[in-house]
Amino acid sequence: MPSAGRDGSAAAGPAPSITHVSGTVTSDVECRFAQSGIAACRFRLTETPSQWDAATQKWRDGTPIRYVCTAWRDLARNAAESLTSGVTVLVEGRITEIKDNSIYLSVDDLGISLRQRIAYTEASLPSPAAAAPVTPPPAPQPAAPSAPRPPTKQPGNPPAWWEKQRSSGWSNTAASDADGSPLHVGR
């Protein structure tokens, strides 16, 4: 495989393949400057793929894959300011070499994984909302028992005069036109 030059450009030959890696930074980020003023940073990354174990019917960690990542220019400066050991990152880069049980990557793009943490950008820091964690709304609490209130008219309840007439046996109601007897329901 071709190796990258000191400025991050690939040496002559076939273009290396682009790869995407999700892993944990396992070293401090070292940043250096070439005589031309170009920044370069290097850090180690470990990816631990998950594998399905059919015998136990569970996921298990696979063999860790070790990377040595190099970034250039603004990406190098930003990585040096943003990354610390233990942070999970997403890396897009080109494999430049495989040596000493490590894969060497020339990093084209880099991002912090949000799977296990919150990341703030320069634009989001001034906002007070940026610091507030997102939490679900509180569950409604049952109402505390209170003193009994006088009955009120609610939809679906008969009016007070109805209850009064029903309890008196409908004696004061108008007689039916056929037999003069009090009004009876269900007749």
> pLDDT in tens for each of the 187 residues of the chain?
444 554 555 455 666 688 999 999 999 999 999 899 899 999 999 999 999 999 999 999 999 999 999 999 999 999 998 899 999 999 999 999 999 999 999 999 999 998 888 877 776 665 555 555 556 677 777 777 666 665 555 556 667 776 777 777 665 555 444 555 555 555 4
* Predicted TM-score (pTM) of this structure: 0.56
What gap in Å lies between CA 40 and CA 73, rounded to an integer?
6
The amino acid sitting at 123 is A
Please report the DSSP string for the chain in residue order.
Answer: ---B-TTSPBPSSSPPPEEEEEEEE-SPPEEEE-TTS-EEEEEEEEE--EEEETTTTEEEE---EEEEEEEEHHHHHHHHHH--TT-EEEEEEEEEEEETTEEEEEEEEEEE--SSS----TTTTT-HHHHSPP-PPPPPPPPPP---------TTSPPHHHHHHHHTTTTTSPPPTTT-PPP-TT-
- Indicate the domain borders of the chain: 18-119
Domain 18-119 is found in CATH 3.20.20.105: no
